[in-house]
Structures are given as structure tokens and as C-alpha cells.
Amino acid sequence: MRPRPIAFPPHKVASPLARKPYDGRATCITDWLRSGLPVAEVARRAGTSPEVIDRHYAGLVDNSEEENNRKIEKTMGWGAATT
């Protein structure tokens, strides 16, 4: 039995979405990282290690330095309002 008709609604069975089963997993991991889940949590949910997530998806989390700095500043109370 083919998995696509089971996994996808009829209008998506013929689409390029998840041509290989692994594509769906990679899309899910990408979405979790982009949503802001911590790498360790993404790894746990994906059944792999944080090192593997970091190695294969580092570009998705490395480009958020400004946002990470804002989070640190907020937590530390270093925002513009406190100076």
C-alpha cells in the first residue's frame, strides 16, 4: 500500500509535498525550529540528538542573533527603558 493516499488529503496526494517520506520529517523539523522551539525540544520530538539538529538545520537558528540579543536584554533588564 502506498502511504501518500493515507497521509495526505486527496488534493495533496499528487502535489510535490513530501515526495519522499523523509521530506515531511524535514519540513516538520524546520517548522518547529522557525516557530522558536529550543533545539533540544525539537531533537526530542524528532527522535534524534541536538547535535544532529544543529548540524543539519543550523542555518535556521543561526540567523536570529538580533532576536536572541533582545531576549537576553529583556531577561536581564537591560532594555532601553531601564537605562
Domain ranges of the chain: 4-82
**pLDDT exceeds 80 at position 41:** yes
**pLDDT exceeds 70 at position 20:** no
**pLDDT exceeds 80 at position 70:** yes
**pLDDT exceeds 60 at position 81:** no
Length of the chain measured in residues? 83
* pLDDT at residue 53, as a whole number: 93
- Phi, psi (5° rounding) for residue 52? -65, -45
* pLDDT at residue 71, as a whole number: 85
**What is the number of other CB atoms lying within 10 angstroms of the CB of residue 10?**
7
